[in-house]
């Protein structure tokens, strides 16, 4: 990377400060600085007169004189080079005085760091260049005034006509022959804020006979904005009567745009300063990336900013996101980008390639890429590579790697990305790469520390935890379980007759024996939360949190049999010709009335009983026990359900409901629900729905299903794919009885623009009959929108046909137990036929579920049933996932 060469003059009488600044300037990344030094006031003035530098750094203390005097002297002489005052004093008045005298900036010596010095120097030079541009613009304006290159206008209060000079007409963009216009015509050329200001100023001139001058923003017929500066005064006749207003105007657009650009530069530097300070002060990568996406979206005023990390294949995941309300979130989405199929793209990114799209609809963009943009509602896009220097410690090699992309989306309309915006994003992408490398190094250091810490916890001989860590971890687990009054089991394991084993085979063989025993115990204790420790010479302890006595006994018995199965010879044993073990087991509820020491003592007592009872056995300490395992599992499932709702770990599956006759045209698909538990395992509804109902989670789950499904169906490509399909959605009783639920559904239809005719709700017969009035009211309200309804599990109640006439449903779904038994049970077949006949009489379509064999399908078809559903027809498949 080419560095910009900057010549800096330091006027400083302290050699130590000179050396310090010289060192700091040599560390700068983007600048190459040539530093000259003058240590006296006079020498500094002489050097400044030569004008050979880009920036002056002036110390406040310069012997008898100070930096303020030098500053004042040079500003009076119209010095064109920016001067930055250096001070060791924390004096706000001094800082204000320096700026008021014309200093470009000031720095406190105690706060100077290389990156701060770099930013201040760059900012001073950049601002000085803009100030020069402004001065040049002002000089041109003054010259224009001298040669009368000004527009003028005159307002006649009697006719309300405004006469414009040729130059004034040109400024406003009127046709050359249009020199006279009405006041209202002129007013339309001003933006709304300037219109109000113009009215106020004209009133001021007319009413108070005062002189007025202002700056206005106008809009020309070609849609371009201009800025004008006007002076206006009252015009009177010989009798001092008001005739109108005369004014001059000057086009100051260039000056104004320079001021606005300078303001943008300041904002950009401020933002960059905040982010760089955060990066330099924090090792928390999550916090840094969050700051960047939110700050960039605010600064660019765009609709979405994401940080996208590449995966091992040609896809990536959205790590961080800031998105404007109303646009879909991509956070956590794995996205396969067709652009990455180009093998050279990563090499181009390594060389600094920036993908800029001002309008996604232009022909040059591939259709596959356009489709991806449209899926995320993107109209303009800019993507910059995040590069890191990946170091391989094992091979001692390193190289530039494209870690991911910093991407900004504009969704409302197409957008021209400005160079200043691109420059800002380039610098930020570079800082992100540095932050990632720092975080990786920090994580590596943490890992090494953890490995060192682990060594301190492990018994060197056996590889299991040592006694010290056992005591620490036991107390930690106890406190954790104590909050819920949960139970804990401990197994104490002792190798039988081990003293005699050592005496017979020697200590080396004894060590090998203990190693085999320890590894066997650890292999038998498989749950992640359980742990094994060497408690004494030949004694081991096994801690089983949240394990009742029955389960702990099975673990203990498995340990005993596995040790014996090792068949380690032991001729000196009084128990067996093989090495065996004795085990003591105790279980207790962790609460304030007990403690870990009591549990260990109980297990020790049980171990003692095992030994005196003949060894090679498991003994349980005789204490009261409470088996709360089922309740704990249920509570754990509730916790997982709540986490799944909060983290979008639910997913939707679909199962076809197949038309069985040519006369049945409408296609149906039932929406089924699954969720991922913490380990990534997919959990079926039979496991969690009853628990969700008991713990009042079904209303939230039903709302999630409806909102997610309608959002999915609203996507353009999905709408076309499923436009002829009706989706059936199961609803719980609590949702049907919720007074606001139908309003929620109606609102979701309005947001998604999905036709209500495409949605059919399934209500079980049990739920409908339990509150018939509410169910009927709910059904009628949504049928008005166009929704249809299925009465599910029909036939389970004794009064099914009686209640059916009060429920305006469209489909009947026969309870599955009748379908399963239809071949073997004539009564089941009769019930199915009756349901079909009543459905036909009431002009309802009938659905048979649980069709699991070809013969059942044939039977159902022969009976004339309209639809079939079941594993024989189609197994459920995943429809949509939000993670």
Q: Which residues are catalytic?
A: 538
Element (H, E) at 66: strand 65-66
Residue 777 CA to residue 785 CA, distance in Å, equals 13
Q: 529 is written with which tokens? A: 């939360």
Handedness of CA 469, 473, 474, 479 (dihedral sign): positive
Q: 402 is written with which tokens? A: 């494209």
The pairing of strands 867-868 and 845-848 is parallel
Q: Number of C-alpha atoms within 13 angstroms, CB side, residue 464? A: 28
Q: 230 is written with which tokens? A: 């006007």
Element (H, E) at 246: strand 242-251
Contact present, 214 and 193 (Cβ < 8 Å): no
Q: Residues 6 or more apart from 45 whose CB is under 8 A from it?
A: 70, 73, 74
Q: Which of 563, 555, 556, 534 is nearest to 463 (CA)?
A: 534
CA distance between the termini of the chain: 40
Q: 882 is written with which tokens? A: 């939000």
**Dihedral, 338, 339, 345, 351 alpha carbons, nearest 10:** -140
The per-residue DSSP string of 249-292 comes to EEE-HHHHHHHHHHHHHHHHHHHHHHHHHHHHH---HHHHHHHH
| b/e sequence 23-60, b meaning 16+ C-beta within 10 Å | ebbeebeebebebebbbebeebbebbeeeebbbbbbbb
Q: 451 is written with which tokens? A: 């490995």
503-585-630 Cα angle (round to 5): 150
Phi and psi at residue 592, to the nearest 5°: -70, -15
Tokens 């200001």 sit on residue? 197
- In 590-641, where do the E strands start and end? 618-620
Q: Which of 120, 114, 118 is nearest to 31 (CA)?
A: 118
- In 590-731, where do the E strands start and end? 618-620, 650-659, 667-676, 682-683, 725-730
Residue 165 CA to residue 151 CA, distance in Å, equals 6
Give the DSSP letter of residue 577. S
Contact present, 580 and 496 (Cβ < 8 Å): yes
Q: 667 is written with which tokens? A: 């296609």
**Residues comprising the chain, all counted:** 883
Phi and psi at residue 110, to the nearest 5°: -70, -20
Handedness of CA 450, 455, 456, 462 (dihedral sign): positive
**Dihedral, 497, 498, 504, 507 alpha carbons, nearest 10:** -170
Residue 102 CA to residue 104 CA, distance in Å, equals 6
Cα 478 to chain centroid, rounded: 36
């Amino acid at each position: 990377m080419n560095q910009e060469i900057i010549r800096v003059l330091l006027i400083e009488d302290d050699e130590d400060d000179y050396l310090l600044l010289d060192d700091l300037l040599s560390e700068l990344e983007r600048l190459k600085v040539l530093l000259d030094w003058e240590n006296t006031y006079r020498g500094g003035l002489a050097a400044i007169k030569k004008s050979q530098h880009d920036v002056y750094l002036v110390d406040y203390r310069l012997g008898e004189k100070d930096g303020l005097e030098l500053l004042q002297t040079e500003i009076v002489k119209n010095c064109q080079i920016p001067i930055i005052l250096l001070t060791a004093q924390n004096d706000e008045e001094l800082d204000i005085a320096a700026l008021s005298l014309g200093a470009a900036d000031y720095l406190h010596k105690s706060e100077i760091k290389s990156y701060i010095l770099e930013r201040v120097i760059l900012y001073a030079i950049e601002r000085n260049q803009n100030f020069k541009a402004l001065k040049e613009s002002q000089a041109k304006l003054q010259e224009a005034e001298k040669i009368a290159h000004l527009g003028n206008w005159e307002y006649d209060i009697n006719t309300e006509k405004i006469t414009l000079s040729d130059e004034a007409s040109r400024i406003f963009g009127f046709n050359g022959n249009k020199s006279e216009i009405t006041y209202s015509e002129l007013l339309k050329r001003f933006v709304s804020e300037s219109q109000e200001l113009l009215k106020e100023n004209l009133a001021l001139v007319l009413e108070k006979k005062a002189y007025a001058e202002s700056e206005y923003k106008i809009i020309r017929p070609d849609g371009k904005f201009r800025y004008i500066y006007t002076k206006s005064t009252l015009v009177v006749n010989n009798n001092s009567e008001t005739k109108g207003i005369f004014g001059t105007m000057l086009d100051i657009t260039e000056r104004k745009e320079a001021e606005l650009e300078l303001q943008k530069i300041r904002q950009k530097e401020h933002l960059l300063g905040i982010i760089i300070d955060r990066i330099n002060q924090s090792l928390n990568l999550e916090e840094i990336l969050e700051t960047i996406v939110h700050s960039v979206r605010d600064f660019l005023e765009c609709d979405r900013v994401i940080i996208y990390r590449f995966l091992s294949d040609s896809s990536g995941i959205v790590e961080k996101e800031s998105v404007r309300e109303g646009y879909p979130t991509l956070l956590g989405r794995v996205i396969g980008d067709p652009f990455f199929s180009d093998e050279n793209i990563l090499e181009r990114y390594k060389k600094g390639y920036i993908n800029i799209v001002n309008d996604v609809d232009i022909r040059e963009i591939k259709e596959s890429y356009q489709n991806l943009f449209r899926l995320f509602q993107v109209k303009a896009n800019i993507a910059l590579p995040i590069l890191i220097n990946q170091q391989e410690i094992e091979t001692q090699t390193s190289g530039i790697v494209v870690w991911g992309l910093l991407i900004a989306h504009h969704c409302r309309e197409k957008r021209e990305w400005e160079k200043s915006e691109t420059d800002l994003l380039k610098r930020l992408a570079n800082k992100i790469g540095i932050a990632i490398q720092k975080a990786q190094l920090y994580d590596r250091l943490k890992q090494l520390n953890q490995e060192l810490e682990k060594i301190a916890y492990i018994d060197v001989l056996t590889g299991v935890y040592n006694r010290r860590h056992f005591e620490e971890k036991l107390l930690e687990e106890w406190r954790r379980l104590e909050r819920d009054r949960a139970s804990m089991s401990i197994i104490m394991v002792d190798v039988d007759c081990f003293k005699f084993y050592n005496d017979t085979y020697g200590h080396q063989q004894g060590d090998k024996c203990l190693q085999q025993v320890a590894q066997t115990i650890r292999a038998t204790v498989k749950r992640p939360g359980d742990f094994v420790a060497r408690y004494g010479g030949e004694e081991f302890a096994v801690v089983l949190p949240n394990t009742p006595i029955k389960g702990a006994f099975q673990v203990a018995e498995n340990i005993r049999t596995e040790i014996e199965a090792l068949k380690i010879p032991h001729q000196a044993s009084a128990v067996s010709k093989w090495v065996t073990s004795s085990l003591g087991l105790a279980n207790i509820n962790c609460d304030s009335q007990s403690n870990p020491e009591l549990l260990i003592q109980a297990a020790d007592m049980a171990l003692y009983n095992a030994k005196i009872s003949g060894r090679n056995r498991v003994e349980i300490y005789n204490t009261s026990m409470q088996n709360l395992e089922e309740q704990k599992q249920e509570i754990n499932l509730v916790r997982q359900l709540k986490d799944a709702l909060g983290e979008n770990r639910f997913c939707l599956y679909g199962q076809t409901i197949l038309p069985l006759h040519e006369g049945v045209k409408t296609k149906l698909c039932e929406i089924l629900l699954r969720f991922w538990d913490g380990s990534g395992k997919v959990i079926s509804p039979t496991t969690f729905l009853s628990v969700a109902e008991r713990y009042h989670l079904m209303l939230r789950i039903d709302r999630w299903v409806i909102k997610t499904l309608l959002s999915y169906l609203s996507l353009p490509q999905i709408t076309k794919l499923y436009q002829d399909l009706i989706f059936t959605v199961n609803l719980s009783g609590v949702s049907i009885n919720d007074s606001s639920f139908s309003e929620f559904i109606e609102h979701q239809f309005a947001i998604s623009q999905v036709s209500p005719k495409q949605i059919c709700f399934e209500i079980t017969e049990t739920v409908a009959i339990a509150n018939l009035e509410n169910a009927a009211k709910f059904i009628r309200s949504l049928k008005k929108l166009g929704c249809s309804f299925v009465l599910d599990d029909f036939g389970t109640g004794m009064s099914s046909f009686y209640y059916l006439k009060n429920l305006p449903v469209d489909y009947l779904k026969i309870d599955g137990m009748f379908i399963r038994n239809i071949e073997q049970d004539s009564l089941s077949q009769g019930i199915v036929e009756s349901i079909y006949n009543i459905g036909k009489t009431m002009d309802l379509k009938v659905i048979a579920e649980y069709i699991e064999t070809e013969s059942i399908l044939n039977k159902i078809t022969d009976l004339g049933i309209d639809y079939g559903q079941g594993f024989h027809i189609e197994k459920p498949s995943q429809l949509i996932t939000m993670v």
